[in-house]
Every structure is written in C-alpha cells, then in structure tokens.
Chain A
Amino acid sequence: MQQTMGLALEIRLSAYIDGELPEAEKSELDALLARDENARALLQTLRAGSAFGNKAFDDFLHDPVPLALVRQIKQGPGITPRFARVATANLPQRNARVWPRLAAASVVLLFLGGASGFILGSTVNTDVPGPEAAERPWVQEIADSHRIYARQKRHLVEVPASQAAEIETWLASSVGVAFNIPDLSPKGLTFEGARLLVANGKPVAQLVYRDRDSNIFAICFQRNGSGEQPDQFSETIRGDLSLVTWQKDKASFVLIGPSSDPALQDIAQTAAAVI
C-alpha cells in the first residue's frame, strides 16, 4: 500500500483506481469524490486514459513475432537434436539487425511460390533444407498445399464441418486410415471441414481447423509413411509454418500451423490421443 497524503490529486486518484491505497486514504478519497465534482471529473479522465491505453497496448500483441527467433527458441539443442545444425546455423548475430531483412526475404520468397521449401533469411541464414526434408517429401508437399488452401476465404474446405460423419466415412475409405475427427475446441481450435489431397503420389486426408485469430491449422495423414517410432513427435519449421509429425498404427500424421504458435506440440499430442 502506498502513502499518498500530500501528493497531487491525480496521483492519489490513480493509486485509488489501482487499489493501492490504505483503507483510511481510500475512505478519505471516497468522501472527496462524493462531494467534489472536479475530483470526479479527474477520476473519470484517469479511467478514460486507462481504457484507451489498454486498447492501444492490446493492438501491439497483433504485431508479427520474428520468425527467426521463434525458430531459434523452438529448435535449440535439447528439443530436436537432429535439427541442431539448422538451429545452430540460424543463431542470429548479436546486435545484428537482421529481422527486418529476414521478414522481407521471407515475403519475397513467399511471393515467388515458396517452392524451395525452407525460407531462411538472407545475409545470416544460408541454410539449405535439412535431411529430414528428403526423408519425408510428402510433408513438404503438405506445407506447400497448406500455404495455398489456408488463404482461401470462401472455399477453405471441400466438405464442411457440419458433415462430420460424411467426412469420416469418405476420407477413411479414400486414404485407408480409420479415424475420428479430434475435438480441439479446448485448444481454441474450431473444426472447419476437410479436404482430400495428394502427396507423394498417395491420397492424404486433411482436417482443417481455425483458431480465434483466424489462423488456419490442419491435421494431415496418409497410410504408412515416415517410419518414425509411435508416440514420437518431431517439430520442423518451414518459414512461417511449423509441422509436427508423428506415426500411429500404419499411418503418418502431420499437424501444420503458424510457426509462431508455441502450443503446436501440445495440440499434436492432444490430436494424436483421440484421432
């Protein structure tokens, strides 16, 4: 609690708003506010400033986070050691102002089609795709498809979520993998519907979800695949997208979503438990 006796009224009222005053001072200000119109007006002004500032600061959270840093944090040693070369090579030089150049380079590459896979920065990051890309080419195809479909406003899916039973029957017979559509609403994801894709010459089921910020996530799976051990989750970042892969029974799965999302592995594990 703060002692504010003798301080300017705006400071005292500001502390009053924050509940930082001792009871005696709070009672004194209550009495002042009850009888003094100017004090009430000042309190109102302070509250208006608070509300305005809250909204303004909330907008800051919608700024994009630097992807290079997300990649560096997520793929550092201890998480996916076999990607260490990529992560180490991506370590930004201290005080080098590379993020704007990274962002600009990523945008340019995106507009060029993104066919080269990894979207790494310009001056610092000169990596080529790691060996995992060659091992699982279908995952790269999925990422390319996702970039295109996720931008569709009116035709995001082939079959809407309202036909869930139809989706399960249709995709199970097309792909050869029996599954249940995971309810990811506790993770903030709403099921939008499904598509049938082709990757690596084989049919792939794609279940599409949307989060509260309208980011698109997808669970894709095909029969057989990567040879990964069951219950082993690997996360790979492809520029603006992150892909978490796993194996279950005789199918390979991948969850794809924004690489800035910190909870992708959690979502993947939730989906894997119920799909």
Chain B
Amino acid sequence: MRPAANMKDFRRDLVGLLPKLRRFALTLTRDAKDADDLVQEACERAITRSQLWNGEGRLESWVYAMTRNLWVDEVRKRKVRGGGSMVDIFDQDELSAEPSGERAVYANQLQKMILCMPEGLASAFLLVNVDGYSYREAADILGIPAGTVMSRLSTARLRLAAMLSEDAERRA
C-alpha cells in the first residue's frame, strides 16, 4: 500500500499532468468528448494502480502508456459493436487518410487542423517533437515499432509544413 504522503504527491502530480494527458488523449481519439472520457478512465486506473508506480522515470510515460492501452481496448470494443467494420489503428501499417477529427468542434482552427491529421501521426509527433521522447520510448508508449514512429514523424512534419503554408495563404 502506498503511504498516504506519497499518495498525496502522486495525486498532485497526476493533477499537474492533466493538461498534457488530455492533449495526448486528443491525439489518440481526435475527438474532444472521447478524449475527456479517456483521460477520466486513465486517471481512475492510475489511482487504482498507483502502488505499481515505482516513482522512477517520468510519471507521464506510465500514464501515457496506460491511456494508450485503454484507447486500444475501446477501439476494439467499438469494432466488435460495429460488427468488425472498424480497423484497429494500432495494427495498421498504412495510415487511414480519413479525417475523423472533423467531428470535433474547435474554436481554434489550428487545433482542428492538428486533429484532422491521419491517425497515428499526431501522437508520434507529440511524443518525440514536443515531449522529447526518443523513438524507442515513443514506440514503447504507442506499442508500435520504432521504425513506424520514425516514418510517422516524418509524415507528420511534412503535413504540418503543408498546414503552415495553407495557414499563411489564408492569412494573406
């Protein structure tokens, strides 16, 4: 059982992590409501299993991986409910180009553009380029090969560069 003082620190750190965790969840779900549900479930699980957290390394890596696993489970459940029509994005080598993130209604156009990127790109970009994980660490969190992280990251950068150009044209 985790001592009360450590549990208090764990909960404090978890609250501090919420903005980043929600951002990571958004890259997985590409839908704000799904992301909120996912973060909630991940936090419940993190607290329930807090005694498994050894306090070494980055707490966010542990919670990110938990979040990703929960989302994989959710995608599989939906696939079953949908009669197998859904494809597990984490088993895909080829990326779907369908921008399901269109469902999300965001005042911020930039965020909307990010969420419209094909599945898998935003999360790889976030982990490596923004959060500073190595390819190996990002691959462990996402449950995919490091080579896939590498190729997705490259594609994400080119997509983002294209968005930058579109954004500049729109403003001009």
Q: Which of A4, A10, A59 contacts B108 (CB 8 A)?
A: A59
Known A14-B153, A52-B164, A262-B15; judge A66-B36 contact (CB<8 A): yes
Scan A46-80; emit 1 where CB is below 8 A from any B CB, else 0: 10111011111111110101100110111010110
Complex contacts, B26 vs chain A, CB 8 Å = 60
B156, CB-defined interface residue at 8 Å: yes
Complex contacts, A53 vs chain B, CB 8 Å = 114, 125, 129-130, 156-157, 160
Q: How far is the CA of A54 from the CA of B131 in the complex (A)?
A: 10
CB pair A2–B150 under 8 Å, yes or no, is yes
Known A94-B41, A94-B44, A262-B16; judge A60-B8 contact (CB<8 A): no
Closest Cβ of chain B to A70, distance in Å, is: 6
A15, CB-defined interface residue at 8 Å: yes
Q: Which of A22-30, A95-103, A154-162, A169-177 contacts B (4 or more CB under 8 A)?
A: A95-103
Give chain A's interface residues, CB within 8 Å of chain B. 2, 4, 7-8, 10-11, 13-15, 18, 20, 45-46, 48-50, 52-61, 63, 65-66, 69-70, 72-74, 76, 78-79, 92, 94-95, 97, 99-100, 260, 262-263, 265-266
- The interface residues of chain A, by DSSP majority, are classed as helix
Known: A15-B150, A52-B160. 7 other contacts (CB 8 A): A13-B154, A18-B128, A18-B135, A70-B18, A73-B43, A262-B15, A265-B8
Q: Within B93-136, which residues are at the interface with A (CB < 8 Å)?
A: 108, 110-111, 113-114, 125-126, 128-130, 134-135
Q: Which of B12, B151, B154 contacts A46 (CB 8 A)?
A: B154
B52, CB-defined interface residue at 8 Å: no
CB pair A74–B11 under 8 Å, yes or no, is yes
CB pair A100–B111 under 8 Å, yes or no, is no
CB pair B33–A97 under 8 Å, yes or no, is yes
Q: What are 13 A-B pairs with beta-carbon distances under 8 A?
A: A45-B157, A45-B161, A49-B162, A52-B160, A53-B157, A54-B129, A57-B126, A61-B23, A97-B36, A100-B33, A262-B12, A262-B14, A262-B16
Residue of B nearest to A66 (CB): B36
Residue of B nearest to A13 (CB): B154
Closest Cβ of chain A to B32, distance in Å, is: 8
CB pair A73–B15 under 8 Å, yes or no, is yes
State how many residues of chain B have any CB contact under 8 Å with chain A.
Answer: 52
Complex contacts, A94 vs chain B, CB 8 Å = 40-41, 44
Residue of A nearest to B132 (CB): A18
B13, CB-defined interface residue at 8 Å: yes
Residue of A nearest to B157 (CB): A49
Q: Which of B44, B151, B160 contacts A11 (CB 8 A)?
A: B151
CB pair B108–A65 under 8 Å, yes or no, is no
Closest Cβ of chain B to A74, distance in Å, is: 6
Closest Cβ of chain B to A159, distance in Å, is: 33
Q: How far is the CA of A215 from the CA of B134 in the complex (A)?
A: 34
Complex contacts, A92 vs chain B, CB 8 Å = 40
Q: How far is the CA of A52 from the CA of B43 in the complex (A)?
A: 30
Closest Cβ of chain B to A45, distance in Å, is: 5
CB pair A260–B18 under 8 Å, yes or no, is yes
Known A14-B150, A57-B130; judge A65-B113 contact (CB<8 A): no
CB pair A14–B154 under 8 Å, yes or no, is yes
Q: How far is the CA of A69 from the CA of B47 in the complex (A)?
A: 12
Q: How far is the CA of A147 from the CA of B73 in the complex (A)?
A: 42
Most central of A14, A20, A79 by chain B CB within 10 Å: A14
CB pair A10–B18 under 8 Å, yes or no, is no
Complex contacts, B163 vs chain A, CB 8 Å = 52
CB pair A49–B147 under 8 Å, yes or no, is no
B68, CB-defined interface residue at 8 Å: no
CB pair B20–A50 under 8 Å, yes or no, is no
Q: How far is the CA of A74 from the CA of B135 in the complex (A)?
A: 33
Complex contacts, B11 vs chain A, CB 8 Å = 73-74, 76, 78-79
